[in-house]
Amino acid sequence: MFCTRCGSPADGSFCPRCGAPVGAAAPPLPPPLPAPGLRFDYASWGSRAVGYILDRLLVALLIIPLALLFVLFAGASHLMSPFAWHHGPPAGFCCVLGVFPVAGLLVGLWNKVYLVSKRGSSLGQGAMDIMVVDAQGRLVSQGTALLRLVAHTAMGFVPFLSMIDLLWPLWDDRRQTLHDKVANTYVIRRPTS
């Protein structure tokens, strides 16, 4: 006999690999999102932009206190030296610039990869009742969400490409950004049922 959930061989009443009851019916699946033949209810550019702003505010709310703490500790330790500013500003002040991308990446991995793959939306997108799905209308995998985040981040290193990416849904018939096109994802209004 095989487990109906993971397919592993099981000879008892529970699967040794995943713990599911053997021989029992598989748990019901959540109601499906719009089928591939149906049209998606694409999210508006305004709701996407507000969701993006809310996500950026989340990053700022976490980064600013970290940066201030870092500057305070770096500055306080440097001021204890008798030759405090004789050779220029302390190295810790320059290192504070590294806090921004690292904190942004960590927040992005949690908010834009983990949450999007588990519930379909980041915190900002969730507040706007929009979600990210694949071409079949399913939640995206963590790999796809990571590809989407990396593509979005990489576009920020090319002058004006980040701005073009942000504005692209205004003239795209599927309201996709460029990083959506890279990952083959769509942002839709969250189904109410």
> pLDDT of 119-132, one tens digit each?
999 999 999 999 99
Residue 27 has pLDDT above 60, yes or no: no
Question: How far apart are the C-alpha atoms of 116 and 67, rounded to whole Å?
Answer: 27
pLDDT at position 94, please?
59
CB atoms within 10 A of CB 133: 20
Indicate the helix (H) or strand (E) that contains 2.
Answer: none
d(CA 26, CA 49): 40
Whether the per-residue pLDDT at 99 is higher than 90: the answer is no
Report pTM: 0.66
Residue type, 61: L
Strands 186-189 and 130-133: antiparallel
CA distance 55 to 61: 10
Domain range summary for the chain, segments of one domain joined by +: 45-189
Interval 56-93: pLDDT, tens: 898 888 777 877 777 677 655 555 555 555 555 555 55
Task: At 36, list the tokens.
Answer: 């591939």
